[in-house]
């Protein structure tokens, strides 16, 4: 049928241009797919590179067949394919993680994408993957036919008509590009431009950023300001340190008109109960490096004091953690027993059991030996995990303790929210909640893969971005966070040892994960001795647990390590000088792959 675009006399006038416009639509479709609902005019966008490539193809069409012509054709196909794949890369990364990280970083993320596919796997996903591959083959064949039809049809025109057509196209590209630049305003996303898209500049910038990141990572982290903490801040007094990370506990919960007042009422009540037990507390907003997912990057930023936004940076830092000063190694050097509780950590396809920060004890799903109903993404309710660990591990620690608990019950999609039980042991033998996933025990990696391949009745994806915040999502999210805050309050009410406690979110929830959204999370610091809180008050933390929704962000996650070192120097180290507070963390790798402070 496409032959009529070049052979039928009545179609020769418009056929090649229609083929070119259809080819353009296929070429830009991945780049504009996410923006079309808000900006339908993006469907009319022209790809500057495509018209240039077709123009070169028309010019080469008149050459005699030979090696040079074949080389030019290969180069055109290669360039077009590369740009089209880059469009798909933008689409997938923006759809999944709401960001467009450097290509070098994406190489490290591929493993996590593989885990994501397995986590989502069911027969519908399998059919979708097969259908997608078949559709891709069909689209490629169609694009190839359209390209041949447009190039052959335009070349069949007289030289004069080709010259006029080329001049018109060039004028449209120049005018469209100039109009785009005039419309783009400072601090506004470039995606609002709708006339001509040039993909090669952002691709070149991405490649350059990837190269800079690669070179910087190869040089490593040198002269870390944290390296001397062990000698310059020896601790005489050694209070326990608890880092309690409430999954997805973000500013969204506080600024929401419905959930905010309920949250304030709850934390006010929790504060009264804790003060009755002798606890003092201060709070502030901290800015996470990411939003909506990839909790390990937020946790890595907190522990290393380095801004860790990209997977490549994280993998470099933890590849040889002994060479990267961090909060765990500092407290270990001071004689602390270091323990991490990560209930979701278990062997499964694409995930290895790695003690990334060299904790003395790492407690995951296997150590918890849970054989009860499965609750949501985290499977094991946080009350069970904390109760089991407290009874079997924490209660037996005699010396100073550093305890990091990354909670899981407030993880999306909040379909099944646990309820606080009088006895944590009863959770394992209690009645299964409605909507839970039935699986009698934690599977081995092989069994896990088979169960995912056979899972036919998954109601909805559990790990995808949750969409925009609506009332139902906010209510479920608020209930999940409320559960964890109540659980931690009960934990602190029973705590008798000298301790510095940090309760905070790791990042904002996935219902608010765009790059232009707030990355803020609440951070609460608690201690019975006000001297432990002196540094935090000096830096601007406010008394209590409640935070005003409009309160500005006080610090970033990467600033906590140095702030804690100053707090230790003030209260717990004889004669130690206060180390500098580094609100932006140690010199590391910034967004552009350069070393920054």
pLDDT value for 186: 46
Q: What is the fold of 236-429+437-596? A: Alkaline Phosphatase, subunit A (3.40.720)
Short-list 562, 540, 559, CA closest to 551: 540
pLDDT value for 596: 38
The two structure tokens encoding residue 263:
């949250």
pLDDT value for 224: 76
pLDDT value for 464: 33
Short-list 484, 344, 495, CA closest to 420: 484
- Could you tell me which residues come within 8 angstroms of residue 388 by beta carbon, excluding any fewer than 6 positions away? 368, 369, 370, 424
Query: Is pLDDT at 447 greater than 70 in this prediction?
Result: no
DSSP E strand boundaries for 38-142? 46-47
| Cα 500 from Cα 515, distance rounded (Å) | 33
Averaged pLDDT of the chain: 81
Angle 45-49-50 from CA coordinates, rounded to 5°:
70
**215-224, 272-281, 477-486: least confident range:** 215-224
Query: Is pLDDT at 439 greater than 70 in this prediction?
Result: no
3-state secondary structure 171-210: HHHHHHHHHHHHHCCCCCCHHHCCCEECCHHHHHHHHHHH
In the chain, CATH 3.40.720.10 sits at 236-429+437-596
555 alpha-carbon distance from chain centroid:
20
3-state DSSP helix/strand/coil % of the chain, to nearest 5: 50, 10, 40
pLDDT value for 12: 61
Query: Is pLDDT at 185 greater than 80 in this prediction?
Result: no
Short-list 582, 577, 567, 574, CA closest to 224: 582
| Cα 456 from Cα 449, distance rounded (Å) | 13
Query: Is pLDDT at 468 greater than 70 in this prediction?
Result: no
DSSP state of 525: E
pLDDT value for 98: 64
The pairing of beta strand 588-589 with beta strand 595-596: antiparallel
DSSP E strand boundaries for 71-136? none
pLDDT tens, position by position, 80-113: 889 888 888 888 777 766 667 777 777 766 666 6
| Cα 367 from Cα 344, distance rounded (Å) | 11
Query: Is pLDDT at 580 greater than 50 in this prediction?
Result: yes
**181-190, 314-323, 469-478, 485-494: least confident range:** 181-190
- Could you tell me which residues come within 8 angstroms of residue 566 by beta carbon, excluding any fewer than 6 positions away? 535, 578, 579, 581
Query: Is pLDDT at 156 greater than 80 in this prediction?
Result: yes
| Cα 389 from Cα 343, distance rounded (Å) | 10
Angle 296-407-565 from CA coordinates, rounded to 5°:
65
Give the pLDDT band of residue 177 (cuts 50, 70, 90). confident
pLDDT value for 450: 42
**67-76, 463-472, 515-524, 546-555: least confident range:** 463-472
pLDDT tens, position by position, 207-265: 887 787 777 665 556 567 888 898 899 999 999 999 999 999 999 889 888 889 999 99
H-type helices in 435-559, by residue range? 445-454, 471-493, 534-538
166 vs 320, residue with greater confidence:
166
């Amino acid at each position: 049928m496409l032959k009529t675009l070049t052979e039928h006399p009545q179609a020769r006038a418009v056929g090649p241009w229609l083929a070119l416009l259809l080819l353009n639509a296929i070429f830009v479709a991945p780049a504009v797919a996410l923006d079309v609902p808000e900006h339908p005019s993006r469907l009319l966008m022209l790809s500057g590179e495509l018209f240039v490539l077709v123009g070169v193809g028309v010019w080469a069409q008149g050459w005699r067949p030979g090696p040079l012509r074949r080389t030019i054709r290969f180069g055109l196909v290669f360039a077009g394919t590369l740009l089209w794949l880059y469009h798909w890369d933008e689409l997938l990364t923006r759809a999944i993680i709401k960001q467009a990280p450097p290509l070098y970083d994406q190489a490290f993320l591929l493993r996590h994408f593989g885990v994501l596919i397995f986590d989502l796997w069911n027969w519908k996903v399998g059919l979708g993957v097969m259908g997608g591959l078949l559709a891709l083959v069909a689209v490629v064949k169609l694009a190839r036919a359209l390209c041949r039809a447009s190039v052959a049809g335009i070349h069949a025109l007289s030289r004069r008509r080709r010259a006029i057509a080329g001049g018109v196209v060039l004028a449209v590209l120049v005018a469209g590009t100039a109009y785009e630049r005039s419309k783009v305003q400072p601090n506004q996303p470039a995606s609002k431009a709708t006339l001509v898209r040039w993909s090669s500049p952002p691709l070149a910038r991405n490649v350059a950023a990837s190269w800079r990141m690669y070179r910087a990572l190869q040089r490593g982290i040198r002269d870390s300001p944290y390296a001397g903490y062990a000698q310059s801040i020896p601790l005489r007094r050694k209070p326990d340190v608890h880092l309690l990370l409430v999954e997805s506990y973000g500013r969204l919960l506080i600024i929401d008109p419905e959930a905010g007042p309920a949250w304030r009422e709850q934390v006010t009540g929790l504060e009264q109960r804790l003060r009755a037990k002798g606890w003092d507390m201060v709070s502030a907003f901290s800015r996470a490096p990411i939003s909506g997912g990839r909790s390990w990057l937020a946790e890595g930023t907190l522990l290393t004091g380095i801004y860790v936004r990209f997977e490549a940076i994280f993998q470099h830092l933890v590849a040889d953690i002994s060479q990267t000063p961090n909060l765990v190694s500092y407290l270990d050097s001071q004689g602390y027993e270091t323990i991490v509780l990560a209930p979701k950590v278990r062997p499964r396809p694409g995930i290895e059991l790695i003690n990334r920060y060299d904790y003395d004890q790492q407690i995951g799903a296997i150590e918890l030996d849970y054989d009860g109903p499965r609750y949501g993404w985290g499977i094991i309710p946080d009350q069970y995990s904390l109760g089991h660990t407290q009874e079997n591990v924490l209660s037996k620690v005699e010396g100073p303790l550093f305890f990091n608990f990354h909670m899981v019950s407030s993880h999306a999609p909040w379909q099944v929210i646990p309820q606080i039980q009088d006895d944590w042991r009863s959770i394992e033998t209690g009645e299964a909640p409605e909507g839970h996933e039935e699986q009698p025990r934690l599977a081995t990696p092989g069994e896990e893969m088979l169960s995912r391949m056979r899972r036919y009745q998954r109601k909805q994806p559990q790990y995808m971005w949750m969409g925009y915040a609506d009332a139902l999502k906010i209510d479920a999210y608020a209930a999940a966070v409320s559960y964890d805050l109540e659980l931690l309050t009960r934990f602190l009410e029973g705590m008798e040892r000298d301790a510095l406690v940090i309760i905070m979110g790791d990042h904002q929830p996935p219902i608010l994960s765009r790059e232009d959204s707030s990355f803020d999370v609440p951070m609460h610091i608690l201690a019975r001795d006000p001297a432990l809180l002196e540094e935090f008050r000096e830096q601007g933390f406010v008394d209590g647990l409640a935070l005003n929704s409009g309160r500005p962000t006080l610090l970033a996650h990467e600033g906590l390590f140095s702030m804690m070192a100053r707090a230790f120097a003030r209260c717990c180290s004889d004669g130690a000088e206060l180390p500098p507070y580094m609100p932006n963390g140690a010199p590391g790798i910034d967004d552009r792959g350069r070393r920054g402070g």
